[in-house]
Amino acid sequence: MIESWRWYGPFDRISLPEIAQTGATGIVTALHEIPYGEVWPRETIASRNTEITSAGFDWVVVESLPVHEKIKRGEGDLAGFFANYRQSMANLAAEGVTTICYNFMPLLDWTRTDLTAPVARGGSCLRFEAAKMAAFELYMLGRAEAEADYSAEALQKAAIWHQQATEEDKQGLLHAIMSGLPGAYDRYDIAGLKQALRGYDGLTQDDLRQNYKVFLQEIVPAAEELGIKLCVHPDDPPRDILGLPRIVSDEEDISFILSAVDSPANGLTFCTGSLGANPVNDLPRMARRFADRVHFAHLRNVRKDPDGSFEEAAHLEGDTDMPAVIAALLDENRKSGRAIPFRPDHGHELLEDAAKGTHPGYPLVGRLRGLAELRGVIAGIRHVNGWNRA
């Protein structure tokens, strides 16, 4: 497996020389400054790649080459967007970058209600609090139908939270939820979010699945020709929110996607955090089942609550059997001879992390702790099984 690190390029407060000290050899990044739907110019890709390789790294995964929201909605003439996506892939392949992570989540890339939830022995983590999310949907957005999406316990807590919340609390919640917006980091106020959501009115899970299948039919053949490995990222969280459907949340969803266009180029980013937040998912079993189509792995852990809440746990704590998942991926490495890039996904803010002001979930010390722990698990599994490095 290839140890890698997510880097936000010019937007990142962690430098490549700092990343070098973590021991990671691969960089996971994207051209975040380019608007969705536009072609990634080859010269811009080449410049970013030179910056990465000059610092002693390989650009091992693009995360992400975004899918335009009109494709997700199936809206209008999409030929130009598909053509631009294929051209961006061709430009990446021409520069030797051939693994592309992307997602098919409507509007938001990920959603949390707390960016600095306290951790028992110090530090902070990302948290999704079902009651706060229910309060946001019901009382701040005024989406009455959201009541059907939450447990009675969460709804009761939501009413109490809303009654006691200050204006500062409400703005903090809006900020946390908006932190999952992709692209150039634009953020909505409540009125703006309501307007954005109207564009998805009436979009069902079946609609989104069909739109996704069309995307795969348009893009995967080009990926095959280019030697590109596409790997979809699961929904985060793996549940419908804000009235937006989710279709990459469990084993059945993934099976549908991989069979919709049955090709090695149509693969999966195995995110143990996103998939682990869904209580129905058996991650070791899923890792074994889909291992030959896993082209990239996000390794992190979560701790779930009965009401649907969850928070980021330390990488070897939480509800997911991380060694069992890693063992399945290492076994695939051994059998296939290919090395799967992975990165320590998210991490607690520890020590001086809070003062650095990095992207939420992407601190230096917290991810370094995670990488060190994962590195130890990998070394132990290889030693016990007598497997060579791959």
The one-letter amino acid code at 195 reads Q
Contact 137, 267 (CB under 8 A): no
Please determine, for residue 309, whether its predicted confidence score (pLDDT) is greater than 60.
yes
Q: Is residue 127 part of a domain?
A: no
Answer yes or no: is 156 within a domain: no
Strands 341-344 and 301-304 come out as unpaired
Which are the catalytic amino acids? 233, 271, 298, 345-346, 362
Q: Long-range contacts made by residues 377-380, C-beta under 8 angstroms, separation at least 24? A: 377/316, 377/322, 377/323, 377/326, 378/1, 378/326, 378/330, 380/323
Give domain status of residue 81, yes or no. Answer: yes
- How far from chain centre, in Å, is Cα 127? 15
- For 43-69, the pLDDT digits (tens) are 999 999 999 999 999 999 999 899 999
Q: Examine residue 167 and state whether it is found in any structural domain, yes or no.
A: no
Q: Which pLDDT value is given to residue 186?
A: 65
Band of the pLDDT at 184, cuts 50, 70, 90? very low
Beta-strand pair 341-344/294-299? parallel
pLDDT digits (tens, 9 = 90+) for 323-346: 999 999 999 999 999 999 999 999
Per residue in 333-389, pLDDT (tens digit) is 999 999 999 999 999 999 999 999 999 999 999 999 999 999 999 999 999 998 865
What six digits make up the tokens of 128? 């999704």
CB atoms within 10 A of CB 147: 13
Specify if 58 maps to a domain: yes
Is it the case that residue 182 has pLDDT exceeding 70?
no
Express each pLDDT in 210-228 by its tens digit: 999 999 999 999 999 999 9
Q: Tell whether 152 is covered by a domain.
A: no
pLDDT > 50? residue 151 = yes
- Residues spanned by the domain of 221: 2-110+200-385
Confidence of residue 119 (pLDDT cuts 50, 70, 90): very high
CB 358 within 8 A of CB 364: yes
Mean pLDDT (whole number) for 103-123: 94
The reply to whether 269 falls in a domain is yes
Percent of the chain clearing pLDDT 90 (strictly above): 93
Kindly provide the residue ranges of all beta strands, DSSP E only, lying in 129-238, ordered along the sequence: 229-233
User: Does the residue 165 lie in any domain?
Assistant: no
CA distance 321 to 302: 11
Quickly tell me which residue has 């946390």 as its tokens.
176
Alpha-carbon distance of 260 to 270, in angstroms, equals 18
Looking at residue 231, its pLDDT comes to 98
3-state secondary structure of 308: coil
For range 305-332, the mean pLDDT: 96
Total structural domains within the chain? 1
- CATH number, domain containing residue 337: 3.20.20.150
pLDDT score of 389: 57
Distances (CA, A) of 244 to 24, 145, 207, 236, 308: 36, 12, 11, 12, 17
Q: What share of the chain is helix, strand, coil (3-state, %, to 5)?
A: 45, 15, 35
Q: Please, what is the average pLDDT of the chain?
A: 95
